[in-house]
Structure 1
Amino acid sequence: MATAAEKREDIKSKLQILRKELREIHSKVIEESTMPEPGEVRASMTKLEELLEVLEPKSAKKSKK
């Protein structure tokens, strides 16, 4: 079982990666006036859901039902 510090570091690194990806998507929208690919949006949403499950495992399972 991971310690609280390990979980915190894992979440921190996942958030940093997600923020970088979202910044890239945002810059494409702003600079190139193009919409992101649906796959990019779905991947970001999946990553956010995974983080939510780590942060709130019980409530995330309830919301999916």
Structure 2
Amino acid sequence: MNETESPKWRRSSRCSGGTCIEVAKVGGTYLIRDSKNPQLPAHSFTEDEWVAFVAGVKGDEFVF
């Protein structure tokens, strides 16, 4: 990750009430953070990990 590049955080258009997950891409790294606690460190994922996660969401792998 390029340390000089500032993340541009995005929220889902479905976010409501301020309890959202935010995503940013810096270089080839995807960052995830909780919008309620943006001061906490973000979780980081490689491009391959992010693609697998998105595929899992779209494939309903996380439905309980």
Interval containing the TM-score (normalised by the shorter chain): under 0.3
Compare the two structures and name the one with the higher strand fraction: 2
Q: TM-score, normalised by structure 1?
A: 0.27
Q: Larger % of helix: which?
A: 1
